[in-house]
Structure 1
Amino acid sequence: MKAPKRTREWWGPPKKFTVNPETRKVSWLELFFDLVYVIAIAKITHHLSEGMHSENILEFIFFFILIFWGWLNGSMYHDLHGAEGWRTRFMTLWQMLIVSALVITLDSPAESFVFNVTTALILLQIFIIYLWWSVGLYDKEHRKLNRPYSIIYLAALALMVTTLFLKDPFIIQVILFSSLFLNYLPPFVLYALSKVRTNRFVLSESMTERLGLFTIIIFGEVIAGVISGVTALHQLNLKIWINFSLAVILVFALWWLFFTLISDRRCKKGMLNSSILQILYIPTLLGLDLLAMAFSKLFTDSGLYIFDIINLKQLSGFSMSLFLFGMFLMTFVLKYAEQYYILRKRIQWIIFSSAFILMIFSLVNIELSLGTFLFTLLLFVLSIIILLNYQWYGIQVKKNKAIQDQN
């Protein structure tokens, strides 16, 4: 289909695709767009905390990955093709409406839950397909790159539609997860088909900032989980306030780690590296969101067993371990200055070792009071920060000494 010969300026056709997006600040529209995802994440976290059993965890993981996929597509579209005009605003509005509808369907009664949620998913899928396909009407270059997305997204849509005619919950779950897998596949297919072109792609500074902002949303959920957990106690005393303070400081320490090591770094060049980084945000942020869910119940019953296998303390340790392991993997696709190559290797070793130790600690399930448990986790994270700072300043001292010797 040929691009329209004339488009009114007020409508604002999509910005043409460029391999090096211009540096820009995140717009107010994008921040407003993020608000609906704040609500969506809060909803699925609350939904899981209200029914903590093994069946719900897969449902939670599915919705978390799906919500991140919707947010990622909307954000990437705005970053690559967002323009001043009504079209970009209308596209943002429609996606906000669909995601809001999806959130509403999560409270559907059991007999209509699957149908209502699946219908909302289908609408979101159709919208994302149109979002990317329609750019090809204005930009022929984008049309060539868009084919893998259109074909694979349509295949995922077909799978979703088939679930409306099925009754077996297990088969429906398998098909929905398969469609979710397909939705994350297009950039890797495009890379295989067009390595030369995709190798020139660079994840923009604004998109790096957007990923950091989405991470802030999840950190906000963790703080909300702490507040919710303490509020449920009704009667407060010094011990509770100490536990509350330890939990908040622990969240702040995790924030410090992430935004020092990850969010201030640019991704390596190439669509493959960018796509890998975006996917690695899933387990990292999933770990944070599980921690939020654990904190919402930890203060009232820290020994409660959930998902039929682990208690809330174990889940907290496991969630932090998953968060650290995700950070470890991210360091492989982030750019570091050549003079800090040795430091990067040390950072990777420290983070991986910490994630492994924390995982073992969670599996052992040592009997500790809540205050002692939170203090142990905090001391562990602070030790990582101190060790990393020691490595950083050690290299800086050697660097300054080498400069002085040369002079």
Structure 2
Amino acid sequence: MKLRNAWWGPPKKFSTEFEDRKVSCLELFYDLVYVIAISRITHHLAEHPDVTGLLDYTYFFVMIFWGWLNGSLYHDLHGTSGVRTSLMTLWQMMIVAGLVVTVNNSGENMLFNITICVMIMQLYITYLWWSVGIYDKVHRRLNRPWTVIYLSSFALMVLTLFLEQPYIRIVFYLTLVLNYLPPFVVQNLLRRESSDFNLSSSMAERMGLFTIIIFGETILGVVTGTSELGKLNWEVWINFGLSIMIVFALWWIFFSLVSDRPCRPGYVNSHKMELLYIPTLMGLGVTGVAFSSLFQGHTHPETENAYLLKVGFGVAMCLFLTGITLMLTFLEYPDGYQNSKRSIQKRLAITIAVLLLATCLNIVLDLGIYLMIVLGVLVIFILTVQASWLKIEAGIIANTNEQHSPT
């Protein structure tokens, strides 16, 4: 039996504590299929830059993030080096890849095929958590809310097969709400079991890696938007350089303020932090889509939705920064830096307000001037944050030297 368990690898028990670990090669391989999924839905939004396209993008992004989050959390909490974990990961990758195929297919049965793939994904994630209870009796009590709510969501998906628009879209959005509901229900059970859940350092690293995926799509948006212009002159190259620097500035802001910062203890705090990634990364993704069309709209202002893309670019960037502002509430900074969070949040609020104003003026501004303003505002924010951190660090060093100096 011990040999079978070592080979098959039953899931780790929820009650077992483990040291901080590195992200495995299997997890990185698992992320690759989500790179493709995000790329496909981003490409779909670029081809349909309207309200309907945005609604579809929102649903698919939130659903794909839900699938990635559940698979990642399962591996973080219950993953082993056994065959079972590898197979469970492979099967989920196949399901997501199948969903990508259906999204990329424009046939007459497209909606039906997408619905079936989403239903399979929903049922599989339900099984993923339910199956842990076979090996762990403690988890069996905890996973009941997941099983019941996820199956209720699955039942609603089945119902969409017999509905027409706009009811199909409404029901699908309702299933998203249900899918993110269980953690708020199970917190009372965790208290009764004297258990708690905190976002591990490895899971925080995974969230950062997922963010890098979206940043890659944003860079691709800049490259695609530039290459599609055909004629490359000095003005195009300047706008290209400014755009790349804007993406780099957004990268610095996120990974300096959010990445590698521990989340406040508590199950609900961890889940709220995970939820805040959704609007933050959606804002970043839409920024990339807007980049891909911003240059085209500038060259041909008569292009359909050119005005919407200009406004969407600024609003999406502000959504990304707003998400970071809210994330700071749930993050713990080192001693001495904790008080700087409120100051950073105020600076971010000012930055967002200035960017929104610049976006309103973008109607009459040249694209190059607008991009310079955006980059300038972001750089000023970065410099002020860096200056405040250097001041805090100097104060800490001075206090340390004072404590160790002979009296």
> What is the total number of aligned residue pairs between the two structures?
403
How much has 1:403 moved relative to structure 2? Answer: 3.7
Q: Which moved more, 1:347-356 or 1:136-145?
A: 347-356
Specify which of 22, 25, 43 is matched with residue 25 of structure 1: 22
Specify which of 125, 139, 144 is matched with residue 142 of structure 1: 139
Alignment gaps of 5+ in structure 2: none
Confirm or deny that 1:356 pairs with 2:353: yes
**Paired residues of 2:142 and 2:189 also in contact (CA < 8 A):** no
The change in CA–CA distance for 1:119 and 1:367 in structure 2 (over 3 A counts) is same
The change in CA–CA distance for 1:310 and 1:183 in structure 2 (over 3 A counts) is farther
The change in CA–CA distance for 1:232 and 1:10 in structure 2 (over 3 A counts) is same
Amino acid at match of 2:374: L
Specify which of 52, 56, 59 is matched with residue 56 of structure 2: 59
> What TM-score, normalized by structure 1, do the two folds share?
0.94
**Paired residues of 1:277 and 1:330 also in contact (CA < 8 A):** yes
The change in CA–CA distance for 1:91 and 1:306 in structure 2 (over 3 A counts) is farther
Deviation per residue, 1:371-407 (Å, 9 max, x gap):
1111111111101100111111122223333344443
How much has 1:310 moved relative to structure 2? Answer: 4.5
Deviation per residue, 1:123-142 (Å, 9 max, x gap):
00010001000011011111
The change in CA–CA distance for 1:78 and 1:307 in structure 2 (over 3 A counts) is farther
Structure 2 distance, partners of 1:172, 1:78, is: 32
How much has 1:119 moved relative to structure 2? Answer: 0.4
Structure 2 distance, partners of 1:21, 1:149, is: 24
Q: Which moved more, 1:252-261 or 1:232-241?
A: 232-241
Secondary structure (helix, strand or coil) at the match of 1:15 reads coil
Secondary structure (helix, strand or coil) at the match of 1:36 reads helix
Specify which of 149, 156, 160 is matched with residue 159 of structure 1: 156
Q: Which moved more, 1:299-308 or 1:209-218?
A: 299-308
**Paired residues of 2:225 and 2:296 also in contact (CA < 8 A):** yes
Q: Which moved more, 1:153-162 or 1:230-239?
A: 230-239
Specify which of 389, 397, 400 is matched with residue 400 of structure 1: 397
The change in CA–CA distance for 1:190 and 1:55 in structure 2 (over 3 A counts) is same
Residue correspondence of structure 1 range 7-26 to structure 2 within 5 A: 7-18=4-15, 20-26=17-23
The change in CA–CA distance for 1:322 and 1:19 in structure 2 (over 3 A counts) is farther
The change in CA–CA distance for 1:196 and 1:370 in structure 2 (over 3 A counts) is farther
Q: Which moved more, 1:209-218 or 1:134-143?
A: 134-143
Residue correspondence of structure 1 range 162-177 to structure 2 within 5 A: 162-166=159-163, 168-177=164-173
- Corresponding residue for residue 217 of structure 2: 221
**Paired residues of 1:19 and 1:202 also in contact (CA < 8 A):** no
The change in CA–CA distance for 1:169 and 1:133 in structure 2 (over 3 A counts) is same
- Corresponding residue for residue 206 of structure 1: 202
Confirm or deny that 1:40 pairs with 2:44: no
Deviation per residue, 1:331-383 (Å, 9 max, x gap):
01111124222211111111122223323432454412121111111111101
Secondary structure (helix, strand or coil) at the match of 2:108 reads helix
Amino acid at match of 2:53: N
How much has 1:281 moved relative to structure 2? Answer: 0.2
Structure 1 distance, partners of 2:168, 2:220, is: 33
Confirm or deny that 1:278 pairs with 2:274: yes
Q: Which moved more, 1:179-188 or 1:295-304?
A: 295-304
Deviation per residue, 1:242-284 (Å, 9 max, x gap):
1111111111111011100001201111111110000000000
Query: What's the Cα RMSD here?
Result: 2.1
- Corresponding residue for residue 292 of structure 2: 296
- Corresponding residue for residue 377 of structure 2: 380
**Paired residues of 2:307 and 2:363 also in contact (CA < 8 A):** no
Deviation per residue, 1:106-137 (Å, 9 max, x gap):
13335312111100000000100010000110
- Corresponding residue for residue 130 of structure 1: 127
Structure 2 distance, partners of 1:388, 1:355, is: 15
Deviation per residue, 1:264-305 (Å, 9 max, x gap):
201111111110000000000000000110111111223759
How much has 1:194 moved relative to structure 2? Answer: 3.3
Secondary structure (helix, strand or coil) at the match of 2:296 reads coil
Amino acid at match of 1:268: R
Structure 1 distance, partners of 2:286, 2:347, is: 23
The change in CA–CA distance for 1:394 and 1:377 in structure 2 (over 3 A counts) is same
Structure 2 distance, partners of 1:220, 1:367, is: 30
Confirm or deny that 1:84 pairs with 2:97: no
Structure 1 distance, partners of 2:83, 2:290, is: 42
Structure 1 distance, partners of 2:376, 2:56, is: 33
Deviation per residue, 1:214-235 (Å, 9 max, x gap):
0000000000111111110122
Structure 2 distance, partners of 1:229, 1:308, is: 15
Alignment gaps of 5+ in structure 1: none
- Corresponding residue for residue 109 of structure 1: 106
The change in CA–CA distance for 1:197 and 1:271 in structure 2 (over 3 A counts) is farther
Confirm or deny that 1:287 pairs with 2:318: no
Identity of aligned residues (%): 48
Structure 2 distance, partners of 1:127, 1:311, is: 38
Specify which of 115, 120, 132 is matched with residue 118 of structure 1: 115
The change in CA–CA distance for 1:355 and 1:391 in structure 2 (over 3 A counts) is same
Structure 1 distance, partners of 2:48, 2:63, is: 20
